[in-house]
Amino acid sequence: MCKHYLYSILCISTSLCFKPFRCRSLPAQRKYMRSPPIPEMATQEVQLSETLAHLKTESDTLKGKLEEERAKLHDVELHQVAEKVEGLGQFVMKTRRTLKGHGNKVLCMDWCKDKRRIVSSSQDGKVIVWDAFTTNKEHAVTMPCTWVMACAYAPSGCAVACGGLDNKCSVYPLSLDKNENLAAKKKSVAMHTNYLSACSFTNSDMQVRLSRMGEDTCSSFVTALHHFFDLTELFKVFRHVLHDFMSLQGCDKKANVWDMRSGQCIQSFETHESDINSVRYYPSGDAFASGSDDATCRLYDLRADREVAIYSKESIIFGVSSVDFSLSGRLLFGGYNDYTINVWDVLKGTRVSILFGHENRVSTLRVSPDGTAFCTGSWDHTLRTWA
Amino acid sequence: MSGTMCSSNSVVQTQKLVDQLRLEASMERIRISLTAADLIQYCKDHRRSDPLLTGIAASSNPFKDKKTCTLL
């Protein structure tokens, strides 16, 4: 989409550049008129369009060069190198807990660092904190809007952040006192324009990273919770962050890697055939996986700067909404719009298992912090933990 | 005038694109045979600490059902 936007600007400007300038005036006034600045304007426009053409040629050349460089390193496929790795046995994974309580589609979920609590948000406007072992609901907050698209658990476990179409990110401190009105204690950060698409805490409770969807770009900023002011608008887009300074973005068909210190996009990958819905770092940080509407998951190696694996089957035709790795990075879990979860062997590229249970599309999937289970949220209003 | 504004905007945009591409082109890349070997090594090293992969005993996994106790 970003590319189309740029090209459409080029087309518009090109047509404006060459349209002849017409001067309308009454015949009697003509000889008293200053000569219209046609020659200067035309020269300027011609110069600009020449620069534009020159730049365009350079960008095409660079793109070609990038392709060449990447192809040179493609000396072997990942699954070929992985042939000697021992295969995975049979996996028996099933639903261990079903969390029922939301009144509408579950849109997002996050694990608490205590490996036991889960926060989930739904289209019904509710944000619920669950104890995943007992399936009890510990807290429930009703947001003033529906479509709560993002939620996150603070590292200390004492607060949750959430937001969506209300164009705000709200942070609620979690209190053990059930009588306390959580909604009264919330703090909000306004997004100004556009809805909140993702949020996550940094390593401390003090800062939240937020992503908002814009027309062509998404932006994110860090907010100090205690003061509630925008520190700086950092840089464009992300849906997942591993280290403090690197971040991943899925934007239409492109997956980008941003260096948050410089605000630069340092790598960009465009091999998916449709919009990317989820990106997740490989545990070592040297690669990442993406899930897309084109029904494939792909693995991109950051140091080789290219896609190294595609996880797909002809029988899988529905898009992937959410992906996550197991702790060692050997397994990739994908939540699909055909209500299933496919488990892939990351190294060999084969499917290890397919899990059924949800009665509508899987919208969110996260592996627990200690890797003992993973949780999925679905449009069937429930969350399930699998192990 | 507006024609010039639009073209200068698009020139700026294309310049940004070219700068971005130059940055990406200058990146140092490593062969897949080496990076793939690293990915595999990471998997091997962390294999044992991955409960979903190796399947830890039901008694230590809070999500799995414990074996039932029989009364003697």
Are the CB atoms for A336 and A351 separated by under 8 Å? Answer: no
**What does the pLDDT read at residue A97?**
94
Inter-chain touch A331–B38, beta carbons under 8 Å: no
What is the percentage of chain A residues whose pLDDT exceeds 90? 35
Q: What band does A222 get if pLDDT is binned at 50, 70 and 90?
A: very low
Inter-chain touch A69–B11, beta carbons under 8 Å: no
What is the percentage of chain B residues whose pLDDT exceeds 70? 75
Chain A residues with beta carbon closer than 8 angstroms to that of B57: none
Q: How many CB atoms lie within 10 A of CB B40?
A: 19
Chain A residues with beta carbon closer than 8 angstroms to that of B9: 9, 13
Q: Is the pLDDT of residue A308 over 90?
A: yes
Summarised one tens digit per residue, pLDDT across range A274-284 is 988 888 889 98
Chain A residues with beta carbon closer than 8 angstroms to that of B39: 78, 282, 284, 286-287, 301, 329, 346-347
Q: What band does A178 get if pLDDT is binned at 50, 70 and 90?
A: low
Closest residue in chain A to residue B13, using alpha carbons only: A6
Are the CB atoms for A251 and A219 separated by under 8 Å? Answer: no
Q: Map out the domains of chain B as residue ranges.
A: 21-49
Rounded CA-CA distance A292/A143 in Å is 29
Q: What band does B39 get if pLDDT is binned at 50, 70 and 90?
A: very high
Q: Is the pLDDT of residue A236 over 70?
A: no
Q: What is the mean predicted confidence (pLDDT) over A79-107? A: 90
Give residues 90 to 109 of A whose Cβ lies within 8 Å of B: 92-93, 96-97
Unique residue bearing structure tokens 């008129």? A33
Q: What band does A298 get if pLDDT is binned at 50, 70 and 90?
A: very high
Are the CB atoms for A348 and A82 separated by under 8 Å? Answer: yes
Q: What is the mean pLDDT of chain A?
A: 76
Inter-chain touch B52–A371, beta carbons under 8 Å: yes
**What does the pLDDT read at residue A210?**
59
Min Cα distance A317 → chain B (Å) is 26
**What does the pLDDT read at residue A50?**
85
Min Cα distance A225 → chain B (Å) is 33
Rounded CA-CA distance A175/A1 in Å is 43
Candidate from A69, A329, A372 with C-beta closest to B43: A329
**What does the pLDDT read at residue A7?**
36
Q: Residue A131: CB partners within 8 Å, gap ≥ 6?
A: A116, A117, A138
**What does the pLDDT read at residue B7?**
67
Q: What band does A260 get if pLDDT is binned at 50, 70 and 90?
A: low
Q: What is the mean predicted confidence (pLDDT) over A322-350? A: 95
**What does the pLDDT read at residue A2?**
40
Higher-pLDDT residue of B20 and A29 is B20
**What does the pLDDT read at residue A149?**
76
Q: What is the mean predicted confidence (pLDDT) over B7-36? A: 83
Within an 8 Å CB–CB cutoff, is residue A75 touching chain B?
yes
**What does the pLDDT read at residue B61?**
75
**What does the pLDDT read at residue A226?**
36
**What does the pLDDT read at residue A13?**
34
**What does the pLDDT read at residue A203?**
59
Q: Is A80 helix (H, G, I), strand (E, B) or coil?
A: helix
**What does the pLDDT read at residue A12?**
36
Candidate from B13, B20, B29 with C-beta closest to A9: B13
**What does the pLDDT read at residue A91?**
83
Summarised one tens digit per residue, pLDDT across range A317-330 is 999 999 999 999 99
Rounded CA-CA distance A102/A117 in Å is 16
A166 CA to centre of own chain: 19
Within an 8 Å CB–CB cutoff, is residue A55 touching chain B?
yes
Summarised one tens digit per residue, pLDDT across range A122-158 is 988 889 999 999 999 988 888 877 777 778 787 777 7
Q: Is the pLDDT of residue A233 over 60?
A: no
So what's the ipTM on this one?
A: 0.79
Rounded CA-CA distance A255/A252 in Å is 8
Q: What band does A228 get if pLDDT is binned at 50, 70 and 90?
A: very low
Q: For residue A66, give the amino acid letter.
A: L
A78 CA to centre of own chain: 25
Candidate from B1, B25, B47 with C-beta closest to A330: B47
Inter-chain touch A301–B36, beta carbons under 8 Å: yes
Within an 8 Å CB–CB cutoff, is residue A114 touching chain B?
no
Region for A141 from its dihedrals, namely left if φ exceeds 0, alpha if ψ lies in -120 to 50, beta otherwise = beta
Sign of CA pseudo-dihedral B46, B49, B52, B53? positive
Inter-chain touch B63–A63, beta carbons under 8 Å: no
